[in-house]
A and B are shown apart, each in its own frame.
Chain A
Amino acid sequence: MRALLLIAPLLIFVLVTFVSPIVDMLFRSVENGIVTEILPHSTSALKDWNSERDELPGEAVFRGLYVDMVIAVKRRQHTRVGSRLNYEAAGIASVFRKTGRSLRKVDVDAFVRHFTDLHPDWENRAFWEGVFSDPAAAGVLPNSSRTFDAWSQDFAKPEDPVPEDFVYVALAGELRGLDASDLSGFGQPYAGMLAEAARTIGRLDEISLKQEFLQLDSEWSAATLWKTIKIFSPPLTEAYFLNAVDMKKGIEGVERKSEAERIYLVIFGRTFVMSVTITLACIFLGYPVAYFLARLPLRKANLFLILVLLPFWTSLLVRTSAWKVLLQQEGVINDILVAVGIVDDSARLVMINNQFGTIVAMTHILLPFMILPLFSVMKTIPPDFVRAAKSLGADAFTAFRRVYFPQSLPGIGAGSVLVFILAIGYYITPELVGGIKGTFISNRIAYHISTSLNWGLAAALGTLLLMAVLLLYWVYDRIVGIDNVKLG
């Protein structure tokens, strides 16, 4: 208990600044509450719509849409839901944007008059408040209650005497199909008044909000649009994950994307292959360096270590740009090769803006992460062991292979885990020298975070990347054993 108290500050710090943002970000990969949150009435009306038949939803849905849209436009949220749905079917964003701009043109006077012609009390805010503070209201007229509350709490000024049009539309929509017995739970005079309004509500059937919306934007007649809204109504969705593996949740169920749109699996594969290559290159280059350093006397070793660390302390951007200068076709290396005559001037080597450039630059940048753990492990291997092996008759190579190398393995393990995990999430170097075939999955994640704002997809890609790393870590633990990893 006391131990727990002692680490509490660190624990809380890590939870607040590290774990919770990650969990929050990961949750975005399945979160889809936005559609029902902004379009509650339309989506609940859509439940009764049969999307199999290619006909448009009924009037109830369009009444719901009107109420949703009015509220969303007031809250400036209509384009948000448009952008969300646009991820699934291009073009929806502008339907919402256009409709929001011209929503004023929709004529709903008939809905208001239907009530106010019955009784002047319907023009009285206090009466409306009475209706919706009745205990029966939330159960019998849930949508209208919500709408009235939204109006009176968020939009109405205290002195506004009459509710706005959309409140009437919401109530009319909900009274359709109800009769006096449904409304008997209300106290008087509300039960009577509501029943009276419900009895004659059929008169409004000839008012077609559908036609009004089609006039605002003919796209509202597209069945795909409605199917998309219906498919993406649930509060949780697997669509982002499907997108992240080049599939989509289409109208006919889950399917692979068309050839021209598949991209993420290729990039995931490329990220892994290149990270493995970089790790191997680091082992290949770093091992001899660490071996050399470990055998030097400490003073000299420290001097050479500075040479390893110096690039490590240099800005990442500077090192990456330096590689550009070296590797480009009019660059230093090509110039030398041409001058020496190894390469013809017309056939200069392409070494940058491709996978080769990325691998070279990243190997250079990540090399210290391999050398340092290797060095610290090798320092602890007593030279006596190799000498003993030799005195027992082993030649130099056998002594190295059977005695020295096995003892340095924990260093390779630690270095590889470090380099691989750093490499797989690398962003800036692939972006700058990767060209088109050398970019990593993190470049796409960055694109979705900061440019397309599709944070759900970015979160799904990030989650998959995290899973893959954890899986590899587990495999590594099973094969090599994580206890064998030593950082020093």
Chain B
Amino acid sequence: MTLAKIGVVTAGALGVSVGAASAIDLTVISWGGAYSQSQINAYHDPYMAENPDVKFIYDESAAEAVAKLRAMNEAKNVTWDLVDAVAADAIRLCDEGLALEVDHDSFLAPAPDGTPASEDFGDLIVSDCFVPQIVYSTTFGYRTDVAEWDGRVPTTVCDVFDLENFPGRRSLEKRPINNVEWALHCDGVPLNEVYDVLSTSEGLDRALAKLDTIKDSVVWWSAGADTPQLLADGEIVIGSTYNGRLFNLIEVTKAPVAMLWDAQAFDLDGWIIPSGLSDERVEAVKAFLTYATDTQRLADQAKWISYGPARMSSAPLVGQHIELGVDMGPHMPTAPANSQNVLIYDYLWWADYRDDVDQKFQAWLAK
């Protein structure tokens, strides 16, 4: 990215014309890896082909986007034009005034049948600053060749907590989010009541007590690649991670692993525009977003990665994986067969209680 910039600067200094007079470089922040590649294939490359005066500069620091945007804002020098962020981060960025509020209907394309964008995205617009892109989920994968299980197959998320029928090590993410919800759920709380229970002072203790029952068998992961590697090596028998990673493990690596979709934790990923950009840049970004989040483009992305498009109108257009030729529909977290029992992540609750719960969770871990 820096090299590209230097190149542009030098070219400018030498009087070499770079593109048309209205040429613009847009710095786009995303997560890197297969995910960024799916975006480049589905959105950026076709857009550049149609708009030769736009050039994208890619940066893979989405994981630190909130902290970096805050620092840029304090330094009054925002150098990013478009940031890929999970919904929780988008809410925080919006809260802190670090992201631009957008009017979804005014610049996002309507669905092919004319449904306005705000209805097509529906509830997934969880913040005024957030333009949803995909639905992904954190869910479990398990090895299909565990001898000790005597042919039993985990069917509910509570089997993760069942050491008797499903012995072996399991992996969970090294943070409270999702884990405490699953634990409470398996302690007998219906999924739609977990946040009410967690809000009480005993709720968290109850969740931690349930996690205590398997604590000795848990490997805690912090990077998304951990669980697939641990599953592939037979280091664990069941573990949570992002569904796209498991898809790769099962369909590309052909590891003896299967998906457990029960109580998958839905989450969203999408775009935000940093606040503090010049009008000209905002216009350029909006033009790109109009294109990149239309019905066809969102459906296209599913050709490269198994995350569900955020528009309702995109779902019927989801086809096959471009290299594997696998039908992608059944691998989407949003597929009806997969989403019968879903944990809807409560962004606002976590925004309030994350620090508090995290501190207690870390103290519990350290015990």
Closest chain B residue to A87, Cβ basis: B355
Known: A97-B95, A453-B66. A261 touches B353 (CB 8 A): no
Known: A353-B220, A431-B222. A452 touches B354 (CB 8 A): yes
Known: A79-B96, A260-B363, A328-B233. A94 touches B70 (CB 8 A): no
Residues of A within 8 A of B358 (CB): 447, 452
User: Are A330 and B363 in contact (CB-based, < 8 A)?
Assistant: no
User: Are A353 and B219 in contact (CB-based, < 8 A)?
Assistant: yes
Per-residue A-contact encoding for B327-367, CB less than 8 Å = 1, 0 else? 00000000000000000000010011111101110111110
Number of interface residues of A (CB under 8 A): 38
Q: How far is A403 from B352 in the complex, measured between Cα atoms in Å?
A: 64
User: Are B66 and A450 in contact (CB-based, < 8 A)?
Assistant: yes
Residues of A within 8 A of B97 (CB): 75-77, 79-80
Known: A79-B95, A91-B352, A94-B352. A260 touches B63 (CB 8 A): no
Interface of B is mostly: helix
User: Are B352 and A266 in contact (CB-based, < 8 A)?
Assistant: no
Residues of A within 8 A of B245 (CB): none
Contact of A450 among B63, B233, B363 (CB under 8 A): B63
Question: Is B174 close to A, CB under 8 A?
Answer: yes
Question: Is A47 close to B, CB under 8 A?
Answer: no
User: Are A260 and B364 in contact (CB-based, < 8 A)?
Assistant: yes
User: Are B364 and A94 in contact (CB-based, < 8 A)?
Assistant: no
Q: How far is A349 from B353 in the complex, measured between Cα atoms in Å?
A: 38
Residues of B within 8 A of A330 (CB): 233-235
Residues of B within 8 A of A331 (CB): 233
User: Are A452 and B355 in contact (CB-based, < 8 A)?
Assistant: yes
Residues of A within 8 A of B352 (CB): 86, 90-91, 93-94
Residues of B within 8 A of A79 (CB): 95-97
User: Are B360 and A266 in contact (CB-based, < 8 A)?
Assistant: no
User: Are A435 and B219 in contact (CB-based, < 8 A)?
Assistant: yes
Question: Is A262 close to B, CB under 8 A?
Answer: yes
Question: Is B223 close to A, CB under 8 A?
Answer: yes
Q: How far is A431 from B223 in the complex, measured between Cα atoms in Å?
A: 9
Question: Is A449 close to B, CB under 8 A?
Answer: yes
Question: Is B284 close to A, CB under 8 A?
Answer: no
Q: Which has the most chain A C-beta neighbours within 10 Å: B205, B353, B366? A: B366
Per-residue B-contact encoding for A353-379, CB less than 8 Å = 1, 0 else? 100000000000000000000000000
Q: How far is A40 from B241 in the complex, measured between Cα atoms in Å?
A: 46
Question: Is A263 close to B, CB under 8 A?
Answer: yes
Q: Report B116 CB to chain A, min CB distance, Å.
A: 22
Question: Is B67 close to A, CB under 8 A?
Answer: yes
Q: Which has the most chain B C-beta neighbours within 10 Å: A79, A436, A447? A: A436
Question: Is B321 close to A, CB under 8 A?
Answer: no
Residues of B within 8 A of A152 (CB): none
Q: How far is A273 from B355 in the complex, measured between Cα atoms in Å?
A: 27
User: Are B355 and A94 in contact (CB-based, < 8 A)?
Assistant: no
Question: Is A145 close to B, CB under 8 A?
Answer: no
19 pairs, CB–CB < 8 Å, chain A vs chain B: A79-B96, A80-B95, A86-B355, A93-B95, A94-B351, A97-B351, A260-B364, A266-B366, A330-B235, A331-B233, A432-B222, A435-B220, A436-B220, A447-B358, A450-B63, A452-B354, A453-B66, A453-B92, A454-B355
Q: Which 4 A-B pairs have the closest CB atoms?
A: A76-B97, A79-B95, A90-B356, A263-B363
